[in-house]
Amino acid sequence: MAITLRFGAADLLHCRFAVSPMFETLSAVRLLSPREGVGPHRRWLDTLDTRGLDLRPIALLQPRRGYTPDFLSPPPVSPHARFQDELAAVAATDHDRVRAEVRRSLADTPGAAESATGRLLLGDPAVVLQTLVALVTQAWEILVEPVWPHVRGLLDADVAFQTRRLAEGGLDRLFAELHPRLRWNNGVLTREYGDDEHRDLRGEGLALVPSAFKWDQVVVIVDPPWQPTVIYPARGLGTLWQPLSTDRHAALGRLIGRTRAALLFSLDEPASTTTLAHRHALAAGTVSEHLSVLRDAGFVSGERHRHEIRYRRTPLGDSALRQRVPTNLRLGLELGAGPGGSG
């Protein structure tokens, strides 16, 4: 199962990068669900005060596997989109489109349409749209706006890096290294896993949108009338909330090296070498070297998953993050008998 996008000659001239504060807001809302993996965003979540914030209607329209209404986050038309401008576009959505896309989204979650929130969302589309616009505004103001300059800096850095990569090697270089889930071959861009869809671009080109809060997936928008869009996790996400948030994590960084400590911290869920390299803005060879040291020390282990090896923390690695490294190992590390390096 895969989504494929076929490029023609004209499409090569109409690829562009953009950033969407609206999409970042919706993705931030998703991370509030206890069913979601939070990846590198645990420190951000720990700073939030969401008392009195009820975002269930937005959350219900974002199934883990399924359709999220496109009208809630249309592809940005500007490389420097402002939240207020994107919100105005959402508020102007045709009511028939609101009704159709809400129904399609709720159908992907068993029982959603029959729930109290689902019944609310299936009401008068004008009222539904007004409610969603108000909730998205609340979510932006509480979740994202306070950290937006920091997040925007990461996204802009990704765009600058990818633009240089495009200039140096063309689309072959860009798509070959944009994200591990993307494959580029003979004019066809493929997103592995998920839905089974295909679209010939026919001169429309492609919008490429880096994301901070959609940290673990590549999203592809193919439905008209939107320009085909690929939303991918921004490069360097593992550095977004640095410095390390507590004294004990900083101490671990001094013990085994900041890079190894950051890699160890980010393995709340298994990840491959290429994924970690993208997340931490490191060369794959550098990550592989650090993982080998962590593995030899017993902090991580690797398991084969299809064509790749995914690494996870061991109980010893978990203990290290909780500052309960056994004394004999700690002394060995400090004396240089075990993993070291400044990272």
CB 342 within 8 A of CB 258: yes
Give the whole-angstrom CA distance, residue 66 versus residue 69. Answer: 10
How far is it, in rounded angstroms, from Cα 240 to Cα 235? Answer: 10
Residue 20 buriedness (CB in 10 A; 0-12 / 13-18 / 19+): buried
> Chain-wide mean pLDDT for the chain?
85
Which pTM value belongs to this model?
Answer: 0.74
CA distance 292 to 275: 16
Per residue in 258-276, pLDDT (tens digit) is 788 888 887 877 888 888 8
**343 pLDDT tier (thresholds 50, 70, 90):** very low
pLDDT tens readout for residues 99-124: 999 999 999 999 999 999 999 999 99
Whole-angstrom Cα distance, residue 65 to residue 269? Answer: 18
Q: For the chain, first and last CA: distance in Å?
A: 38
Average pLDDT of the residues in 73-91: 89
Confidence of residue 337 (pLDDT cuts 50, 70, 90): very low
- pLDDT tens per residue, range 4-39: 999 998 888 888 999 999 999 999 999 998 888 888
Is the per-residue pLDDT at 341 higher than 80? no
CB 171 within 8 A of CB 177: no
Q: Which of 267, 338, 340, 342 is nearest to 309 (CA)?
A: 267
Mean pLDDT of 281-294: 86
Out of 90-104, 214-228, 325-339, pick the least confident. Answer: 325-339
Which one is predicted more confidently, 240 or 55? 55
187: left (phi > 0), else alpha (psi -120 to 50), else beta? left
